[in-house]
Amino acid sequence: MNENQQPVWHGTTILCVRKGNRVVVAGDGQVSMGATIVKANARKVRRLKSGTGGDVIGGFAGATADAFALFERLEGKLEKHPGQLMRACVEMAKDWRTDRYLRRLEAMMAVADKTTSLILSGTGDVLEPEDGLIGIGSGGPFALSAARALIDIPEMDAEAIARKSLGIAAGICVYTNTNVTLEAIEL
């Protein structure tokens, strides 16, 4: 790294699992700057204020301040479009892509309500996975692969799958740990 470069923040594994009568969003707690673990118990998953539209949960990967700005923006869109997570996310993605300030934000989000699970990115993407599983962040592909392998095991519910999958990701991705925060919605 030369003297003009800022340290690179790495990390995060966020996983969304929809199975049976629950949807969960889970995330690890590690924040890393380069090769240094800065914090081991960060909370990257939370419930969003959604007006009268019901429960919405979300997790973020990327720069923390950027993610909180995006959570606030999404909460505003949910206030305007209560109960319409897809519409609120599409409206936010339009802003994210066209607003000069928002375009500079470096984060991704996984959000879910009783009926929909979505990935939001700074490129304007709003993606709904066909299998109800989302993995984002540096350990996201590992957790997603594990969740896909576990999803058909009848005795494992959404929470058990998320916890096991994050544990597997933590064993592979150096930017992921086993301090899991999990939020759930009953369907």
Strand ordering across the sheet containing 45-48: 45-48, 56-62, 107-112, 117-120, 126-127
Chain Cα centroid distance, residue 36: 22
Please say whether the dihedral angle defined by the alpha carbons of residues 133, 137, 138 and 139, taken in this order, is positive or negative. negative
Q: Which of 12, 13, 176, 181 does the annotation list as catalytic? A: 12
> Closest by alpha carbon to 56, among 71, 42, 69, 41?
71
List of residues 6+ apart from 2 with CB closer than 8 A: none
12 is an active site residue: yes
Given a contact cutoff of 8 angstroms between Cβ atoms, the answer to whether 37 and 46 are in contact is no
Q: Which residues are catalytic?
A: 12
